[in-house]
Structure 1
Amino acid sequence: MICGVDEAGRGPVMGPLVIAAVMVDTDAGLKELKVKDSKLLTRQKREALAPRIREVARVEVKVLSAEHIDKFRTDDSLNMLEAMAFAELIEIMSPDLAIVDAADVVEERFGKMIMDNMRCRPEMVCKHKADVNYPVVSAASIIAKTVRDGIMDDIGKELGQPVGSGYPNDETTRSFLEKWIRENKDFPPHTRRSWRTAKEIYSLSSVTRLTDWTDNR
């Protein structure tokens, strides 16, 4: 059994980090679906593929809220949080082979972080661009992105206005945060307050137009 794991939402200033694991006995069905890295697909195409992936593969998802991320980062790194979540899903799947998209600049280090948090011992492939080069990881990226998009839509409904993708280079997200901070003198729910970007926004909250946003990847 082959398990692919990937995430969506590592860098945004708003919203959750979503990790998805997809397991198959062969990736032939995924190749027939022509799965690709989610970033190479439109939202419409991702949403069309997600239920078809679930038909041919076992899928598990873990959602880490902005609040959980902030709390964890008081004592440890985002890489460790992600590695622990990857490990949890791989444990649930218990595959023979696990292929993961490396979050760390050093592939081997991230793979070891995952293995250190697991009892099962699958063969591990931890590579940059795994979501491009391995169909089972491409499928996981599509599932993770689709789930996260739906959550961001729900957050917008909860807060009464569109919030965009949560990434700081998203015009809708920027405009929403600027307006909310001016009106409420605080961040809205689901903001990653520990992010450098968030702190910069807060310090400039009286400015009508914020510039020089930086992603806290």
Structure 2
Amino acid sequence: MKVAGIDEAGKGPVIGPMCIGGVLTDEENLHSIKNLGVADSKKLSPKRREDLFLKIEKYASKTFVLEISPSQIDELRKIMTMNEITVMGFSKVLENLQPDTAYVDAADVKAERFGKKLTESYTVNVRKPLTVVSEHKADDKYPIVSAASIVAKVTRDRRIEELKKSIGKDFGSGYPSDRKTKDFLDNWVKENGSLPDFVRHSWKTAEQCLENK
């Protein structure tokens, strides 16, 4: 039986993509993933995440990351909520992996509702049965979801570092609560009169920067 774990990194930031990571393995190999020492990516150092990322790719049957850009998020938010965008993204990762069972970190206050919507979205596009286990803090409970969390987080971190190098500026984490990120956006708008394409224009933080201009 094929088992997958799915998790996202970057749902809330104002800068950069949302990355949805998926890890697929045979059921009998789940212990190998666990023995790597995987954990919720937020509890690991960047170096530890990078080390585990390489090991996960080696032991998993397949890994896949879907990146949803800021401009794609802005367009989609005109017709759906962020939770619905996340369901759509998780479904696309599942379509790529096509497991028999999927463990997912619920991106909805109601974990059961998230799992139901994900199952419905998947079965519309892939006409084969799928068991979805949707829980909050699944990246803490299930090593296969921890692995997906690491794959998603490492991919997003790499994109953020690439972005900082390309513009020659350090904007911090990219989250609205980060003072460094907020100051960067304020200064960018003052200098350029508009927001860059790597920012989610539909976020309140971004809109406020334009209003303050």
Instruction: Show CA shifts across 1:137-191 (max 9, x none).
Output: 0000001000000101111122221222211223432232122112112112211
Do the aligned partners of 2:53 and 2:154 also contact (CA within 8 Å) in 1?
yes
Instruction: Show CA shifts across 1:14-34 (max 9, x none).
Output: 100000100111311121111
Q: How does 1:100-139 map to 2 (within 5 A)?
A: 100-118=104-122, 119=126, 120-139=128-147
Do the aligned partners of 2:100 and 2:130 also contact (CA within 8 Å) in 1?
yes
**Map of 2:69 onto structure 1:** 65
The equivalent position to 1:184 in structure 2, one of 177, 192, 195, is 192
Tell me the matched-pair count: 205
Out of 88-97 and 14-23, give the one that drifted further.
88-97
Moved over 6 A (4+): none
Unpaired segments of 5 or more residues in structure 1?
206-217
Q: How does 1:1-217 map to 2 (within 5 A)?
A: 1-25=2-26, 26-57=29-60, 58-118=62-122, 119=126, 120-205=128-213
> How many angstroms apart in 2 are the aligned matches of 1:148 and 1:173?
16
Out of 40-49 and 194-203, give the one that drifted further.
194-203
Query: Identity of aligned pairs, percent?
Result: 41
Letter in 2 for 1:159: I
Across the aligned residues of Structure 1 and Structure 2, the Cα RMSD in angstroms comes to 1.2
Distance 1:160 1:189, change over 3 A: farther
> How many angstroms apart in 1 are the aligned matches of 2:134 and 2:8?
13
Do the aligned partners of 1:152 and 1:164 also contact (CA within 8 Å) in 2?
no
> How many angstroms apart in 2 are the aligned matches of 1:103 and 1:112?
12
Letter in 2 for 1:81: I
Name the one with the larger helix percent: 2
Do the aligned partners of 2:185 and 2:206 also contact (CA within 8 Å) in 1?
no
TM-score where L is the length of structure 2: 0.92
Could you say what secondary structure the match of 1:27 adopts? helix
Instruction: Show CA shifts across 1:69-100 (max 9, x none).
Output: 00000011111111111111112211111000
TM-score where L is the length of structure 1: 0.90
